[in-house]
């Protein structure tokens, strides 16, 4: 491997070192080679800690080690901070549980994934909503639940208590008094949630981080354990770490033999997730040596000037761009009055461009501010029509938006009528058309109208159909519906209770829906949904007693209602065809930036949309006020809001350009999906340098 002089010096440096540079300048390469150097020098893998900014970034180190064939390294710790905190809390649980306030210090804890934390918070919020809490707040219940959890997580990751986090947001508010009342409601809900967790030994992310930061880190036994085990520390992307993560790394500098930390200058894309790039600047002073990396291995000079162009327009600061270079870096534009028109044109123009330039689809990334369901469907449909393979990336999604998930919830409710969940006629007709191959949507609607008893809820026996109805529906479809009805009504309830919800879902798929009578060809969608539902149901069953769900009925109702109310998951089921590793990457801005990818060509989709400049609207959780570098008592003004939006846009564009080697295509529609004309900040910043057409 050819390394620069700076890289070689950083790899060989002892003590603590900070690697400073933009993305694509070789900092992670230094970390990898430093790791190999330590192992080659005989340092036991057991004494090395590699801390990454994202869980999926662990692969970059394991793949490098596998290619290097350095031997078994089972003792090497490559971990994300949140995962390390959970592991350490679990390890030191017996000596910190009582001090942390848990009700059963001698009983192992129950870990709440984000899915389960939402279900528990919903149990807390539902009775509050019924008594008037959060009234006049124009948010869906699931949005309230998500923002309450965000408040808890951000406070903990910024080393704040619940009360301190709420107080900061109240003290910074400059609007009407109703908002302060809503924040008081949010505090009561958060405290009730936290009390239930402490009473029942439940650990969500916020409580895990809080216990680790306040109790485990400060325990003398932990300090002795950590100093004797981890002698060498490697930290990737310190700017993406939270205040709690950075405080942990800062402490490691005092007890480790060597520490190598990388700082992405201009990074910090996860600020709305509590990352603190400003606080990361402290490591310039806390490390013994600093290495500056200014040679890029990815971006082209023209793309670099494109980032300058946006920064000059948005912030009126920074060096002047070379407009001729900016022009060359924009490979073309695709426009249309409506989104549908633009997407159809993009797919076929992109196909022509790739053939003409001899670029592989895997070297292209289509990046969009927000990938809603309608946009995802039309974009993937257009790519299929153009014969272009693709791979879809989603960091989080609401499974309720997937028809197959809704179908499974319908059958689960009909199989368990005592749970008190009553699907609509539309739910049943949609489920029938997706479940039974022989039923088209029109006949599925008729079947539901003739056979669905919403008061049950249950399917009626098909023998009640009239002769005329049977002719209209077809005997094959009727037979399949009768099979379905018998299975749902005949499933042994005692067995279901003994096995649990997850076994019911698995049996339903295995014994019925996977058979050729229902699906002549294997359904990847149905299999993916089944797998996701089983895993979620298993986690819920295992945690149900600690969550206060004592009966199978309570578990089932919480399961269905949680999904129907819009539960968000970080691991959504793969819908449609499996992702093609050789296909075009499709994802949101942050999905791309945090996926450890580089693309020769990027397509900035909906360039004129305000989404490039927007920050998440969360009236119950202001991520920036909760940051550790926010001054107590400082007011959150309109100027702050605009400044943060501008700063995030510049960071995003700089990050994208640093991960692009050839150039950028711009694709946008004049009108958004609501028919409103689009004229976002990014689009305005690029006026005057736009290429008219890519064909």
Residue 58 falls within a domain, yes or no? yes
Strand-strand pairing, 289-293 and 390-392: unpaired
Establish if 100 belongs to a structural domain.
Answer: no
Question: Does 414 lie in the same domain as 557?
Answer: yes
User: Both 261 and 282 in a single domain?
Assistant: yes
**435 and 555 both lie in a single domain:** yes
- Count CB atoms within 10 A of the CB of residue 488: 19
Q: Which strand (E) or helix (H) includes residue 661?
A: strand 660-669
Q: Using an 8 Å Cβ cutoff, are 27 and 264 in contact?
A: yes
Are residues 516 and 422 part of one domain?
yes
Nearest to 540 by CA among 111, 83, 144: 111
Task: Say what angle helices 141-157 and 243-253 make with each other, to 10 degrees.
Answer: 20
- Cβ-based neighbours of 414, under 8 Å, separated by 6 or more: 423, 428, 456, 457, 458, 459, 488
**Domain membership flag for residue 694:** no
Instruction: Determine the Cα–Cα distance for residues 288 and 535; give it in Å rounded to an integer.
Output: 47
> Do residues 232 and 259 touch, judged by C-beta distance below 8 A?
yes
| CA–CA distance, 332 with 330 (Å, rounded to integer) | 6
Phi, psi of 433 (to 5 degrees): -70, -30
Exposure on the CB side of residue 200, measured as CA atoms within 13 A: 19
- Domain finish residue from 293, 313, 338: 293
DSSP state of 398: -
Count CB-CB contacts under 10 A for residue 426. 12
Rounded CA gap, 9 and 12, in Å?
5
What is the number of other CB atoms lying within 10 angstroms of the CB of residue 161?
Answer: 13
In Å, how far are 80, 197, 222, 394, 623 from 93, measured between CA atoms?
A: 20, 15, 11, 34, 30
Angle at 90 between CA 85 and CA 96, to 5 degrees: 95
The answer to whether 560 touches 419, Cβ cutoff 8 Å, is yes
3-class SS of residue 605: strand
Instruction: Report the C-alpha gap between 252 and 559 in whole angstroms.
Output: 42
Asked whether residue 495 is domain-assigned, the answer is: yes
| Residue keyed to tokens 């600047």 | 281
pLDDT of residue 695: 41
Angle, helices 524-543 vs 552-564, to 10°: value is 130
Q: Does any domain span residue 551?
A: yes
Strand pairing partners for 586? 366, 392
Six token digits for residue 337? 């009055």
Domain with 333 in it = 301-396+578-685
Last residue of a domain, one of 175, 204, 233: 204
Q: What is residue 320's DSSP assignment?
A: P
* Interatomic CA distance for residues 596 and 26, integer angstroms: 13
Angle, nearest 10°, between helix axes 524-543 and 114-130?
Answer: 70
Does residue 472 sit in the same domain as residue 432? yes
| Same domain for 551 and 414 | yes
Residue 575: the pLDDT is 60
Token representation of residue 436 = 């039974």
Q: Tell me, what's the pLDDT at 299?
A: 59
Closest CA to 606 of 538, 657, 676: 676
Mean pLDDT by 10 residues, the chain (695 residues): 88 94 88 93 92 89 83 83 96 95 93 94 94 88 93 95 95 90 96 96 97 94 89 94 94 92 87 86 94 78 83 85 86 91 93 93 94 87 92 82 89 90 94 90 94 92 92 92 90 61 87 83 79 91 91 90 86 68 91 87 94 88 90 91 92 90 92 86 85 47
**Residue 492: per-residue pLDDT:** 57
Whole-number pLDDT of residue 413: 92
Rounded Cα–Cα distance for residues 379 and 65 (Å): 37
A 10 A CB-CB count for 538 gives: 16
pTM for the structure as a whole = 0.90
Residues 621 and 522 placed together within one structural domain of the fold? no
Shared domain for 633 and 494, answered yes or no, is no
Here the CATH number for the domain that contains residue 234 is 3.40.50.300
CA dihedral 685, 332, 596, 28 (to 10 degrees): -80
State residue 452's pLDDT score.
Answer: 95
* Last residue within a domain, chosen from 262, 293, 324: 293
Q: Is the same domain home to 476 and 589?
A: no
Bridge partners, 368 (sequence order): 588
Q: Are residues 558 and 662 in the same domain?
A: no
Residue 321 near residue 309, CB atoms below 8 Å? yes
In 258-329, beta strands by DSSP E = 258-264, 289-293
Q: Could you tell me if 529 and 435 lie in one domain?
A: yes
Q: Is residue 135 part of a domain?
A: yes
In a domain, 98, yes or no: no
Strands 452-453 and 458-459: antiparallel
CB 297 within 8 A of CB 303: no
Report the alpha-carbon distance of residue 231 to residue 46 in Å, rounded. Answer: 9
Q: Domain count of the chain? A: 4
Do 547 and 413 lie in a common domain? yes
Phi first, then psi, for residue 515 (nearest 5°) are: -75, 155
- Sheet of strand 232-235: strand arrangement: 77-80, 48-52, 232-235, 258-264, 15-21, 289-293
Place of tokens 């206060």: 548
Are residues 396 and 572 in contact, defined by beta-carbon separation less than 8 angstroms?
A: yes
Residue with structure tokens 């009239």? 466
| 544, 547, 551, 553 alpha-carbon torsion, rounded to 10° | -90
Strand partners for 397: 569
Contact 586, 369 (CB under 8 A): no
Q: Which residue from 159, 357, 138 is spatially nearest to 250, judged by alpha carbons?
A: 159
Residue 544: HSE in the Cβ half-sphere, 13 Å Cα cutoff: 21
Q: Identify whether 571 is part of a domain.
A: no
């Amino acid at each position: 491997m050819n390394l620069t002089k700076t890289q070689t010096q950083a790899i060989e440096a002892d003590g603590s070192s900070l690697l400073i540079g933009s993305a694509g300048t070789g900092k992670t390469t230094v970390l990898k080679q430093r790791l190999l150097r330590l192992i080659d020098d005989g340092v036991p893998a057991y004494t090395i800690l590699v801390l990454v900014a994202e869980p999926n970034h662990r692969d970059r180190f394991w793949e490098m080690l596998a290619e290097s064939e350095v031997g078994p390294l089972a003792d090497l710790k490559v971990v994300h901070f949140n995962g390390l905190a959970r592991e350490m809390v679990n390890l030191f649980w017996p000596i910190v549980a009582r001090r942390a306030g848990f009700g059963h210090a001698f009983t192992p804890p129950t870990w709440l994934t984000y899915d389960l934390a939402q279900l528990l918070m919903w149990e807390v919020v539902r009775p509050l909503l019924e008594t008037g809490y959060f009234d006049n707040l124009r948010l869906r219940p699931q949005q309230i639940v998500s923002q309450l959890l965000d408040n808890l997580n951000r406070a903990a990751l910024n080393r704040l208590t619940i009360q301190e986090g709420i107080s900061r947001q109240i003290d910074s508010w400059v609007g009407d008094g109703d908002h302060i009342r809503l924040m008081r409601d949010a505090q009561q809900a958060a405290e009730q949630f936290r009390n239930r967790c402490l009473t029942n030994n439940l650990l969500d992310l916020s409580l895990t981080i809080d216990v680790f930061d306040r109790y485990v880190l400060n325990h003398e036994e932990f300090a002795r354990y950590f100093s004797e085990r981890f002698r060498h520390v490697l930290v990737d992307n310190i700017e993406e770490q939270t205040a709690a993560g950075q405080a942990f790394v800062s402490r490691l500098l005092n007890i480790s033999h060597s520490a190598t930390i990388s700082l992405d200058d201009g990074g910090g894309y996860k600020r709305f997730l509590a990352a603190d790039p400003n606080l990361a600047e402290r490591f310039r002073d806390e490390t013994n040596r600093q290495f500056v990396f200014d040679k890029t291995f990815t971006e082209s000079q023209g793309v670099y000037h494109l980032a300058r162009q946006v920064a000059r327009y948005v912030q009126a600061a920074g060096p002047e761009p070379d407009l001729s270079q900016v022009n060359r870096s924009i490979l073309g534009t695709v426009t249309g009055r409506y989104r549908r028109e633009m997407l159809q044109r993009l797919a076929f123009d992109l196909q022509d461009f790739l053939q003409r330039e001899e670029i592989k689809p895997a070297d292209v990334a289509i990046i969009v501010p927000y990938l809603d369901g309608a946009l995802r469907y039309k974009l993937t449909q257009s790519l299929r029509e153009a014969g272009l393979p693709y791979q879809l990336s989603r960091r989080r999604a609401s499974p309720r938006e997937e028809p197959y998930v809704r179908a499974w919830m319908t059958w689960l409710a009909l199989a368990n009528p005592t749970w008190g969940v009553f699907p609509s006629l539309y739910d049943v007709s949609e489920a029938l058309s997706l479940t039974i191959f022989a039923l088209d949507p029109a006949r599925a609607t008729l079947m539901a109208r003739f056979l669905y008893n919403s008061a049950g809820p249950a399917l009626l026996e098909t023998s009640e159909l009239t002769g005329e109805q049977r002719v209209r529906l077809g005997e094959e479809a009727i037979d399949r519906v009768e099979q379905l009805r018998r299975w749902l009504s005949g499933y042994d309830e005692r067995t279901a209770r003994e096995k649990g919800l997850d076994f019911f879902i698995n049996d339903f798929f295995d014994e019925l829906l996977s058979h050729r009578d229902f699906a002549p060809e294997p359904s990847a969608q149905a299999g993916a949904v089944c797998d996701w539902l089983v895993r979620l149901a298993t986690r819920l069953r295992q945690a149900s007693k600690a969550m206060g769900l004592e009966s199978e009925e309570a578990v089932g109702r919480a399961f269905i209602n949680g999904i129907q109310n819009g539960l968000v998951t970080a691991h959504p089921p793969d819908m449609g065809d499996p992702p093609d590793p050789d296909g075009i990457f499709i994802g949101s801005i942050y999905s791309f930036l945090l996926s450890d990818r580089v693309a020769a060509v990027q397509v900035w989709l909906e360039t004129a949309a305000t989404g490039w400049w927007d920050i998440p609207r969360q009236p119950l959780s202001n991520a920036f006020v909760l940051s550790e570098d926010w001054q107590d008592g400082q007011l959150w003004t309109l100027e702050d809001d605009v400044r943060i939006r501008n700063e995030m846009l510049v960071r995003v564009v700089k990050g994208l350009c640093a991960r692009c080697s050839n150039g950028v295509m711009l694709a946008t529609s004049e009108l958004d999906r609501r028919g409103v004309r689009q004229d976002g900040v990014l689009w305005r910043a690029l006026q005057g340098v736009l290429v008219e057409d890519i064909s």
